[in-house]
A and B are shown apart, each in its own frame.
Chain A
Amino acid sequence: MNHSSVNLSRRRFLQMASAAGFGAMVSPSDLFAQYRYLSPVAVPNPLEAYPNRDWERMYRDIYRTDKTFVFMCCPNDTHNCLLNAFVKNNVVVRIEPTYGYGKAQDLYGNQASHRWDPRCCQKGLVLARRFYGDRRINGAFLRKGFKEWADKDFPRDPLTGAAPKELMRRGWDSWVKVSHEEANRYHAKALSNVAKTYSGEQGKKLLLAQGYDPDMVEQVGGAGTRVMKFRGGMAKQGAVRIFGTFRMGNSMALLDHHIRGVSPDEAKGTGSWDSYSFHTDLPPGHPMVTGDQTNDFELFDAENAKLIIAWGMNWITTKMPDSHWMTEARLKGTKVVAVTVEYSATANKCDDVIVIRPATDPAFALGLAHVIISEGLYDAAFVKRFTDLPALVRMDTLQLLKASDVFSGHKDSSLKNWTNVVPKGQYAPPTTQQKGVQIPEYLVKEFADFVVWDSKSKRPVALAHDQIGEHFDKLGIDPALTGSFEVATVDGKKIQVRPVFDLTKQYLDQNMTLESVSKITWAPREAILSLARDIAASSGQTLFACGMGPNQFWNNDNKDRAIFLVAALTGSLGRHGGNVGSYAGTYKNTLFSGVPRWTYEDPFNPQLDPNGAVKTKLYLRPESMHYWANGERLMKAGNKKITTGAHTPTPTKAIWQVNSNSSLGNQKGFYDVVFNTLPRCELVVYNDWWWTASCEFSDIVYGVDSWMEFKYPDMTASNSNPFVQAYPRTPAKRAFNTVSDNETYLGVARELSKLTGDKRFEQMWHFIAAERTDVYLQRIIDGSTPLKGYRFEDLENLAKRGVPALMNTRTYPRINSYEQVQESKPWYTKTGRLEFYRPELEFIEAGENLIVHREPSDATFYDPCAIVAAPHPAIQPKRPEDWGIAADDRSHITRQMRNTTYDVEGLLKTKHPLRDKGWDHVFHTPKYRHGAHTMPVDTDFMAALFGPFGDMYRRDKRSPSSGEMYVDMNPLDARKLGINDGDYVWVDGDPNDLPFRGWNDPARKDEYKVARLLVRARYYPGTPQGITRMWFNGYMATPGSVKAHETRPDGAAKNEETNYQALFRYGGHQSLTRSWLKPTHQTHTLITRKSWTNEVTKGFNVDVHCVTNAPRESIAKFTKAEDGGIGGKGLWRPVALGLRPANESPALKQYLQGGFVKIIKA
């Protein structure tokens, strides 16, 4: 036994006592009295033994809980986790993963392994603080002005029919708490009133009088229900409860039937808004190449790859539970490369990191393609067997040469290879019974035989849609990839034809040389060369994991097409370990192919027998919400209309959305939407379990159950993992006065039944009322190819134990293009092949029939939307003058229709129109690890951990919360502008439109104050000069949050009435964004597969071929606002202490160099 060998000096003891807070003691004897407990217990050696350990019980008591239950956590992050809630005294005190994922099986006994465990994240584990948080919506709320309007029986302007402006002050108004039933009554009455007002000729007149675009009014078709927009956000997250919004919208055909007195055949449901394309998650070039919505691979395919490219994908922050598949693949020898615009979080998990200028991804990919082609590294067999690159293009029309053009009396081949023609007047079989691609008879002519030049026989040869892969091999031909050929057409003309490959090669040789690509993209030449060679050396084994980054720029389809080209050139498609994927959003709801049996059930014939057959009929009219977010403006300029036909939206007079804060509260161009567009709307309803910014701007808010207290089971799955998962019913009591989303539909339907006397409204929700949601879920399962065979009851029982099941897709891991590449089945395209040439008129007019690089629409230092193309015979876009557009008109909408071409040197001489006026920085807004969209970033712990400025005690009262948002700037840029690390800055976007149109009207100064972005600046050395970044995930300032921090003694930006908590004092990241509508997304000619079926369609296809917006497009001006020190005095403390980047103290400098050790290596 050894006692401490250190004798404390008396002086030292006094110092310690002082530190302990007894410094005011007057005499040493008083002081020592404080330590009277010290003497009796002696601990000879605390390394060896300790006398009294009973106190340890304290932490065992904290750890011990009464019971546990499993719930499903499912924000919009594409993962979905069954989590274990630990309960003490009937309160959930902590949350843990279930370790049940390794137990998941499919219908055939295949099992996942425990390498899938644990599944959870910080956002799920913090939920116990959110389930009981003060922003839970306790009951239902009516906006005061709305209630007054309804109570007065909806008075309207006699000339225009518009609702009184003074009663539509959303965001500035106050609230009345009501019962859910009362809210249902108001809701049903308002729906009925809106439908009635805008029906028929009278409705049309009013809409025109209110100034709506006549093209939009025409799409209403006289049915007032069509001006309502219903939307379940990220609907796959709740097969019943979220898709239920669309079912509700579909059943509004009943309301139309009653209001207009039309027959069921003529009745119309509501408009329905998009989700995947609305979130700019859709990679719009994927359907242009494959005909399918999105080609991807489940992320655990990573370990089958030789090379992984995390391309604009911040994998480790946005795919957190699947990050280990990437890091473990690397551990086992896979090379991982980041293509990124900064030293991103993911960069530190990569072998190579290539930093490029934002939105130059198309050029970068084309640069890779150029190296691969010019060095002869491409897989010619793959190219000839699976792509349209050998197809001949007529140089006179720029159309593909058809077999019937050159072979007299040619009869197109019949479509038999995994393809079925659906005769006119018939329907395709149910999806579970579909044997491949379903082509409606009217589209068969689009799939005509095309022509290649056979190098063996030196003549043109017809190639059919079916002749892909091994079916192509049987022909024994060798199509030429390069060259120009003359052929005689059946009408006696001699025309030049060239393979797509040859035209593409010419474009690459002209514009995408190493030197040129390096200049456009900033990527060093050796980076382009190295990656291209790595891809070629990993032929068939490269995974292109593409993220939201490049997808959120205007040229996103150029990017997709170019990346596919690189993959196809090297055979990395449709193979385990070799494929293209795009990872944004919870898509692949198409894998729940039975969903239409729920959403589109015929409301005139609801099936009340649980085992009866369901009749479906589509009454909804899908449209893209981006037009609404664009101020309900279509794309047109000069004498040209781009937005026409099925792409054209209707006016929006009523909105009902569930499960989505991004559709309003985190909307692109948020302040323009809420201050300019939303006031024209007459009814805004949101269901939520947390008071978000969307709620701040609503008329009716329903407080609904959180995941903790689900009383109606549900079902979900994801695109990035193989699990189908039930939301189990939970034993937790409702902590607040909430209802299920399902009950809001039922409640409103009941009121509509009362108003109309038609029981069918209510009958549509019969099994909700009967608490038999499983009936609806089973109907979905029975209609879904990967699910059929499961019983919902079994899935729920498994989920209650924390165990999911596996989707029964064809392969585990599910990879797209598998059947095409491995089994020679066609893609959903006209040629059946991967298509790299787009012969449709819209593409030719846009100059994008070939894959080209276009500059982004705003986030560039050069001429926005410019096409990089030296003169090329196949690139013949419509010029501004062709469409009557003024030569220098680069306004927001018009610039997207300016198809101006420059060669590379020419482009680099141009300038963004705002560049000489102080708008010098690209400003982009990616997603980050601390939030799934906005969930749960305003929870105290999360806010405190979100970036460098968190402080649980809010020592600086300017901080809106226990954390706040910030903008990342390159330190050299910031210094030039006199901005110190941690200072507050004003950030302004294009003053013509932002933060909202009309901001400079003095009468709108209050709105401008709310909308103009004020935020902390962080010195961020990982971003290049000229490029600034701010995370997407913050709750933005609203009139209520601004009033709060300006008046509350504690300065918190927390609305005193609603408790809404902003993470900004003023403005938000969407102060600098606005809608962008790319013409090539609005064609009437592209062939694509519809969701939930193998049937193809032409033109507008919601969430597949429609506008996607470009929310990362902005160029910004920065102005210093306030010092960063507490209360605005001096430097932010960590800067003053020399502990920040670009302000290092000598000690920190030494530390960074590893200078506190010296080492001589033997």
Chain B
Amino acid sequence: MPKVYNWQIGREMEYPYEGVRPQKQFAMIMDTNKCIACQTCTVACKTTWTSGRGQEAMFWNNVETKPYGYYPLGWDVKILEKLGVQDISGPVYQGKTLFESAPAGERILGYLPDDLDYAHPNIGEDDSTSNMGQGAFLQVPHMQWMYYLPRICNHCTYAACLGSCPRQSIYKRPEDGIVLLDQQRCRGYRECVKGCPYKKTHFNPMTRVSEKCIGCYPAVENNRQTQCTITCIGKIRTQGFIAPPDKAREDNPIDYLVHVAKVAKPLYPQFGLEPNVYYIPPVHVPPQYLYQMFGGGVEEAIKNYRNASADMKLLGAMLLFGATPEIIHHYKVEGRYTIGYDEKGSELVRVPLKEPIYLRVVYDDKYQTHRSNIT
């Protein structure tokens, strides 16, 4: 197999194809500390893309409560168990990726979920760890905990679906890095369903071919963020493009948060796919669990995140989440505002770092009325 460089694990690794990075790479950041599990993203996605027959149990976007929520059932427990215990000490990953752990004759270590694994899309909702006593006082980190993990396709740099498709029906768009599954060419072998460790390709029993999150390319092509992002009322998401670390630009909010502030981390980087959805880890969860999910840098991420009030650039990037449906390519903090710009540098939106307080008159002579807070 060719060797490709995966910056998330800090080394080269095996992948079925030669590494080629797109001109721009679709990316998303999700702040788990703000996710409220409302499922608005899920419904936005579902009503836009997957409301047809055969798609009933198909959620390209889902939100699961960790640790007991999984769609499909047990997906990460199962693949982690197959991969076994891996050493993630240090900046360079010591363990094996899923490609490197592929059984003989196969391209990647994977498994095919049972149909029933997709039955309960919100199983585990709000289930927390351990057993609540009669009365409790929890302080950070909470020793009894749960949090919400929203998920879409990671549009991986080294996508496992793409790598495992025997028919080469899955490809990465050079212009934006979105990974697509050709609906005409696919024959429904389900190798991608088996290969994707995140289980973000889905078999459609009506069309007999597989489908996956399309990164809302019809929107992205028009400079609009994805449906799940523009409807996110928790304002936990921003979607744009990420550069590899050596090409990071500080005025790109995604680059800033991932590469400079280092508050956003990939999901299961040890799998070796270089996923392009980044998560700000939940600050209240004990780190050991988070290492397993987001890698060894979670404590630094949490520390930097909790220090946001002292880092205006970090705060400015965070407060642009959800401020505009357009894709923000550049931003800057100026006075009490943070301002987002499009690719050409035109201003898209400016929001205050703190919403102002206005005081109105007691009596308005023009309209002849009192103005009060009571009635």
Contacts and interface: CB of A to CB of B under 8 A. Distances in A.
8 closest A-B pairs by beta carbon, nearest first, are A522-B135, A527-B137, A1154-B288, A789-B367, A46-B171, A50-B171, A432-B369, A63-B218
A798 interface: no
B36 A317 contact: yes
Given A948-B120, A1021-B129, A1140-B68, A118 B190 contact: no
Contacts of A951: 57, 119-120
Which of A126, A522, A955, A971 neighbours the largest number of chain B CB atoms within 10 Å of its CB?
A126
Interface stretch (A328-336, A499-507, A730-738, A757-765): A328-336
A999 B32 CA distance: 48
A113 B355 contact: yes
A343 B308 contact: no
**Interface centre among B139, B158, B291, B356, by most A CB within 10 Å?**
B139
Interface stretch (B5-13, B160-168, B245-253): B160-168
A47 B23 CA distance: 11
A631 interface: no
Contacts of B174: 48-49
A1158 B38 contact: no
B13 to A, nearest CB: 14
A941 B231 contact: no
B83 to A, nearest CB: 7
Interface string A418-462: 000000000000011111000000000000000000000000000
Given A2-B2, A303-B354, A1094-B374, A1021 B131 contact: yes
Given A591-B375, A816-B373, A1094-B375, A947 B125 contact: yes
Contacts of A41: 168, 185
A812 B33 contact: no
A43 B40 contact: no
A489 interface: no
B156 to A, nearest CB: 10
Interface in A960-980: 970-972
B144 interface: yes
Contacts of A521: 135
A126 B132 contact: no
A317 to B, nearest CB: 7
Majority-rule SS of A interface residues: loop
Interface in A103-129: 106-108, 110, 112-115, 117-122, 125-126, 128-129
B85 interface: yes
Given A59-B214, A1147-B77, A119 B233 contact: yes
Interface in B62-91: 67-68, 70, 73-74, 76-78, 80-81, 83-90
B370 interface: yes
Contacts of A323: 34, 36, 233-234
B334 interface: no
B135 to A, nearest CB: 3
A357 B134 contact: yes
A1157 interface: yes
Given A955-B119, A1140-B68, A122 B38 contact: yes
A1157 B18 contact: no
A9 interface: yes
Interface string B113-143: 0001001111111111111111111111010
A210 interface: no
A275 B125 CA distance: 32
B324 interface: yes
Contact of A1158 (B47, B89, B137, B191): B89
Given A122-B42, A1148-B77, A1159 B89 contact: yes
A11 B106 CA distance: 11
A949 to B, nearest CB: 6
Interface in A34-90: 34-35, 37-38, 41-43, 45-50, 52-53, 55-56, 58-60, 62-64
A99 B325 contact: yes
Contacts of A21: 188, 208
Interface string B37-54: 111101110111101000
A511 B374 CA distance: 36
Given A355-B138, A1142-B131, 20 more contacts: A4-B168, A6-B107, A35-B167, A38-B167, A43-B171, A47-B20, A56-B217, A62-B49, A63-B48, A320-B38, A323-B234, A343-B132, A345-B126, A350-B284, A354-B137, A947-B122, A948-B124, A1022-B132, A1022-B146, A1025-B133
A815 interface: yes
Contact of B231 (A97, A345, A944, A970): A97
Given A110-B358, A524-B136, A433 B370 contact: yes
Contact of A819 (B89, B122, B366, B374): B374
A591 B375 CA distance: 5
Contacts of B355: 112-113, 115, 300, 303, 813
Contacts of A1153: 288-289
Given A16-B189, A953-B119, A96 B231 contact: yes
A941 B289 contact: no
A952 B185 contact: no
A814 B134 CA distance: 38
Contact of A47 (B18, B135, B144): B18
Contacts of A17: 189
A815 B372 CA distance: 10
Interface string B179-210: 01011110111110000000000000000100
A853 B289 CA distance: 41
A863 to B, nearest CB: 19
A595 B69 CA distance: 47
Contacts, number: 495
Contacts of A330: 33
A1140 B69 CA distance: 9
Contacts of A913: none
A816 B374 contact: yes
A247 interface: no
B116 A955 contact: yes
Interface stretch (A224-232, A378-386, A622-630, A1131-1139): A1131-1139
Contact of A811 (B16, B47, B360): B360
Most chain A CB within a 10 A radius of its CB, from B128, B136, B305: B136
A331 B20 contact: no
Interface in A357-407: 357
Task: Identify which of A46, A52, A789, A971 gathers the most chain B CB atoms within 10 Å of its CB.
Answer: A46
Nearest to A786: B371
A1148 B77 CA distance: 6
Contacts of B46: 941
A810 B17 CA distance: 64
Given A48-B20, A522-B135, A946-B122, A292 B364 contact: no
A304 interface: yes
A933 to B, nearest CB: 16
Query: Which of A60, A122, A292 has the most B CB atoms < 10 Å from its CB?
Result: A122
With a 10 A CB-CB cut-off, give which of B142, B188, B290, B309 has the most chain A CB atoms: B142
Given A4-B17, A590-B374, A1157-B270, A324 B44 contact: no
Interface string B93-126: 0010000000001110000100010011111111
A524 B139 CA distance: 12
B33 A349 contact: yes
B360 A945 contact: no
A12 interface: yes
Given A47-B19, A55-B183, A1092-B375, A106 B234 contact: no
A317 B375 CA distance: 28
A1021 B22 CA distance: 46
A121 B85 contact: no
B132 A114 contact: no
28 contacts: A1-B18, A16-B191, A21-B208, A47-B171, A48-B17, A48-B20, A118-B322, A128-B47, A316-B37, A327-B34, A333-B309, A518-B135, A812-B356, A812-B357, A819-B372, A929-B36, A941-B47, A945-B39, A948-B122, A948-B124, A950-B120, A970-B132, A1025-B133, A1025-B134, A1089-B375, A1139-B68, A1141-B128, A1145-B77
